[in-house]
Structure 1
Amino acid sequence: MTLLIRGGAPYGERAADLLVVDGVIAAVGSDAATDPRAAGAETVDAAGLIVLPGLVDLHTHLREPGREDAETVHTGSAAAALGGYTAVFAMPNTDPTADTAGVVEQVYRLGEQAGLVDVHPIGAVTVGRKGERLAELAAMATSAAQVRVFSDDGDCVSDPLLMRRALEYVKAFGGVIAQHAQEPRLTQGAQMHEGEVSARLGLTGWPAVAEEAIIARDALLAEHVGSRLHVCHLSTAGSVEVVAAAKRRGTDVTAEVTPHHLLLTDERAEGYDPVFKVNPPLRTRADIEVLRQALAGGVIDIVATDHAPHASQDKETEWDNASPGMLGLQTALSVVIATMVRTGLLDWRGVARVMSEAPARIGGLTGQGRPIAAGEPANLVLVDPEARWTVRGAEFASLSRNTPFEGMELPGRVVATYLRGRCTAAAGAVVDRAPAEAGRGV
């Protein structure tokens, strides 16, 4: 297959044609259109559009197996493609838990069958995510899924000895432990951020120190054993200080922030609408400002969606009983544009860094997050930077509707997504593979 993308602006810079041949970028610039291989190519008019490397999400919940009423690998993959993603990492809080080679291989194969994005399973750190004994880390690492990221996300690996052993174990195959930083004793019964709003609403608070203490402990453990630590959904100004200090010491620690923690504050809880209940909770305006600066400055390495779909019966209930979590795949890029690009904190190369290149590097992917250059895989997203759109959860590809951005007008919109040169989403619609192609993993 040959594709000629005309007039797009890689990284928002000078317009340049891109020639794609058999899933690889063959030429960039003035030579692309005149290349003999361009004769008869499918042509895409990308004038006025930004061309970025396909986005990579290091933190996605696809719910399958076990909660197919909330999401499946296929519907989550569709949402990802529509959001500009070409690769996602699927968290292990499924039923059964993704703590064995068999389960991670099942998720991996389902991703291949969907064929819309590369789906990389994350393995659980402990059996059943119960925090009692290590899961089959080596078996998952050597499985067909080749797992390199391990997490008990949704629960913290709170036992320091288990956390140390996990950090030591994954060193053998270049793995990384992604920690959900939440000291359980400090957050029993917690419903939202501990502060003025929680006191006014009478809801049990989730103190910032419960996150910061675990990050500090684990950074010291990672430094001690010489292993890699990744901090999931960092949410407080104090956590930024802890990560910055660890990096200054030379600790191999990385961190992510979610789009919702870049935009929404704990004041959203004032209407007791459970769509705004999330873990870690929405924090304060002061926290948001620090998080944005830390992302721009590199203390926080990446944006990860923490896409967490929930069936209506789990979300449309009273606040106390509602499951925490928010949709994110189809809104993430627009929220980053609103909070980071429109504010001048990131340029388009910066967006590529935090939403594609760095997530791919942390997750150990070699074919994703690559430069837009000849010889590189054609994992690409075309973005209209001037478009504005209103969020309507009912129009999402996800099976769930729990978006906190419902009714908001957001800037920038994905026009098309290409996975190794094949269009997976265009004009707001998924482009599924032909039935004959299904299951090939191409």
Structure 2
Amino acid sequence: MSAYLITSVSVVGGPPTDLLIRDGVVAEVGAGLSAPDATVIDGTGLVALPGLVDLHTHLREPGREDAETVESGSRAAAMGGYTAVCAMANTSPVADTAGVVEQVWRLGREAGLVDVQPIGAVTVGLAGERLAELGAMADSAARVRIFSDDGHCVADPLLMRRALEYVKAFDGIIAQHAEEPRLTEGAQMHEGEVSTRLGLIGWPAVAEEAIIARDVLLTEHVGSRLHVCHVSTAGSVEVLRQAKARGVRVTAEVTPHHLLLTDQRAESYDPVFKVNPPLRTAADIAALRAALADGVIDVIATDHAPHAVEDKECEWAYARPGMLGLETALSIALDVLGPEWDLIAERMSRSPARIAGLTGHGIDPAPGVPANLTLIDPAAHRTIEPAELASRSRNTPYARMTLPGRIVATFLRGEPTVLDGKAVK
């Protein structure tokens, strides 16, 4: 295996030091290291973080390879500083059997750019009617531990209870897309002053908050583990805050776009800003940022949702919801949080790795640790050009925006997947 010596780099915001990577691990950390056989990377001004981990990625394969593949999504992830991603189940066919999750897992291994951990569906076909093969997926080669019908809510409370009871046997997690469907029928954007002015049917905050409140109570009753996907409202934050204070085993994520963009973006009628849950208000953003800082929200997850051109470049009402996120997430975190490197490492690497049970990931660079890490230049700025993204799709809400930070290198078990800001393969 190759050896790399990264000189004068700040490890998670600490004082400059040297990192020697050899045989897939961080071999040494300290000032003045020497390794004649190693490729030297000048880390002056750079920050080394544990490789990022995304709990919420849509890779579209199998079924929608026109929008993304496991390989192209993995490359986008590496370019964004990620070393592991959790792939959502809403593929075609749905990842509701051991065979499909193993296919996704093997495609990730073949690509070799990030570790791809499949998420299994909770219900057959995401239809919300009967439980999928949870045990078979858990026992498969993919070792599935998180299950989600993301894109659809497990709306039936009895079915949700049964799912929580089932996965408790192997300490699994149900990741809920919190949306009461009867309150969001025909909804196009956040319900509020902007939707009223635009004449678009609104998606009320209570549709999310009611499901979270119900599921927190079910989780408390069963004693299982719940993860809440893409939290978007101030009311949801308060439900989670109270649940955590009671010791309920609940974790939660927020997306970069819900930390930065408001429902006012819908005034352009540009479908790139159509997402589920919808962009909310400035007050919601303030509450989400505060919850991220104090730990009520555990994770920044991208909800990377690539779409083919015909699914986005159409009238707002007919456009599919979703945005790209993998290649810009760290820049958005830096923009929103500032250079709070320990907090960024916690919310984008350590905590998601713990939740997903991904051993070898989410560990700060130190001697003997697997060399899963990313190097970022926080002083650099870049203008987002959709045509230059590694994803097969172009539906980024940050097109032509100038964002802070540039990924200089990403290492997966000591081998570079990105060097000098460019994909290695």
Structure 2-normalised TM-score? 0.99
**1:289-304 to 2 correspondences below 5 Å:** 289-304=286-301
Q: Which residue of 2 aligns with 1:134?
A: 131
Aligned residues of 2:406 and 2:421 also touching (Cα < 8 A): no
Letter in 2 for 1:14: P
Aligned residues of 2:306 and 2:324 also touching (Cα < 8 A): yes
Instruction: Establish whether residue 377 from structure 1 lines up as the match of residue 391 from structure 2.
Output: no
Q: Please, which of 411, 420, 432 is the counterpart of residue 413 of structure 2?
A: 420
Superposition deviation, residue 427 in structure 1: 2.7
Q: Which residue of 2 aligns with 1:409?
A: 402
Instruction: Establish whether residue 358 from structure 1 lines up as the match of residue 351 from structure 2.
Output: yes
Superposition deviation, residue 200 in structure 1: 0.2
Superposition deviation, residue 41 in structure 1: 1.3
Q: Which residue of 2 aligns with 1:16?
A: 17
Q: Please, which of 168, 172, 175 is the counterpart of residue 171 of structure 1?
A: 168
Q: Secondary structure at the match of 2:378?
A: strand
Instruction: Establish whether residue 330 from structure 1 lines up as the match of residue 327 from structure 2.
Output: yes
**1:188-203 to 2 correspondences below 5 Å:** 188-203=185-200
Instruction: Establish whether residue 180 from structure 1 lines up as the match of residue 172 from structure 2.
Output: no
Instruction: Establish whether residue 42 from structure 1 lines up as the match of residue 33 from structure 2.
Output: no
Instruction: Establish whether residue 245 from structure 1 lines up as the match of residue 238 from structure 2.
Output: no
Q: Please, which of 299, 312, 315 is the counterpart of residue 312 of structure 2?
A: 315
Distance 1:162 1:422 in 2: 44
Q: Secondary structure at the match of 2:17?
A: coil
Q: Can you list the C-alpha shifts for 1:138-188, whole angstroms capped at 9, x where unaligned? A: 100110100011000000000001100111111111110000000000000
Q: Secondary structure at the match of 1:397?
A: coil
Q: Which residue of 1 aligns with 2:76?
A: 79
Q: Which residue of 2 aligns with 1:439?
A: none
Distance 1:371 1:9 in 2: 12
Distance 2:26 2:114 in 1: 18
Superposition deviation, residue 88 in structure 1: 0.3
Q: Secondary structure at the match of 2:169?
A: helix
Greater CA drift, 364-373 or 351-360: 364-373
Superposition deviation, residue 39 in structure 1: 3.1
Q: Which consecutive residues of structure 2, in runs of 5 or more, have no partner in the other structure?
A: none
Instruction: Give identity over the alignment, percent.
Output: 70
Q: Secondary structure at the match of 1:7?
A: strand
Q: Which consecutive residues of structure 1, in runs of 5 or more, have no partner in the other structure?
A: 433-442
Distance 2:9 2:140 in 1: 39
Q: Which residue of 2 aligns with 1:436?
A: none
Distance 1:10 1:422 in 2: 18
Distance 1:86 1:167 in 2: 29
Q: Which residue of 2 aligns with 1:68?
A: 65
Q: Can you list the C-alpha shifts for 1:59-105, whole angstroms capped at 9, x where unaligned? A: 00000000000000000000000000000000000000000000000
Instruction: Establish whether residue 149 from structure 1 lines up as the match of residue 150 from structure 2.
Output: no
Q: Which residue of 2 aligns with 1:223?
A: 220
Q: Can you list the C-alpha shifts for 1:352-411, whole angstroms capped at 9, x where unaligned? A: 000000000011111100121111100010000000110111110111000001111000
Letter in 1 for 2:211: I
Distance 1:357 1:40 in 2: 31
Q: Secondary structure at the match of 1:387?
A: strand
Distance 2:242 2:51 in 1: 31
Distance 1:11 1:200 in 2: 45
Superposition deviation, residue 4 in structure 1: 1.1
Runs of 4+ in 1 over 3 A off after TM superposition: none
Superposition deviation, residue 428 in structure 1: 3.0
Q: Which residue of 2 aligns with 1:277?
A: 274
Superposition deviation, residue 258 in structure 1: 0.1
Distance 1:102 1:25 in 2: 35
Distance 2:359 2:223 in 1: 23
Distance 1:418 1:288 in 2: 32
Aligned residues of 1:126 and 1:134 also touching (Cα < 8 A): yes
Distance 2:420 2:367 in 1: 26
Q: Can you list the C-alpha shifts for 1:289-334, whole angstroms capped at 9, x where unaligned? A: 1100100110000000000000000110000000000000000000
Q: Which residue of 1 aligns with 2:6?
A: 5
Aligned residues of 1:82 and 1:426 also touching (Cα < 8 A): no
Q: Secondary structure at the match of 2:287?
A: helix
Superposition deviation, residue 40 in structure 1: 1.1
Q: Secondary structure at the match of 1:155?
A: coil
**1:92-107 to 2 correspondences below 5 Å:** 92-107=89-104
Structure 1-normalised TM-score? 0.95
Superposition deviation, residue 21 in structure 1: 1.4
Distance 1:21 1:64 in 2: 34
Q: Can you list the C-alpha shifts for 1:112-160, whole angstroms capped at 9, x where unaligned? A: 1110000000000000000000000010011010001100000000000
Letter in 2 for 1:5: I
Distance 2:246 2:13 in 1: 35
Q: Secondary structure at the match of 1:8?
A: strand
Q: Which residue of 2 aligns with 1:429?
A: 422
Superposition deviation, residue 429 in structure 1: 1.9
Distance 1:281 1:393 in 2: 22
Q: Secondary structure at the match of 1:354?
A: helix
Distance 1:210 1:340 in 2: 28
Q: Which residue of 1 aligns with 2:342?
A: 349
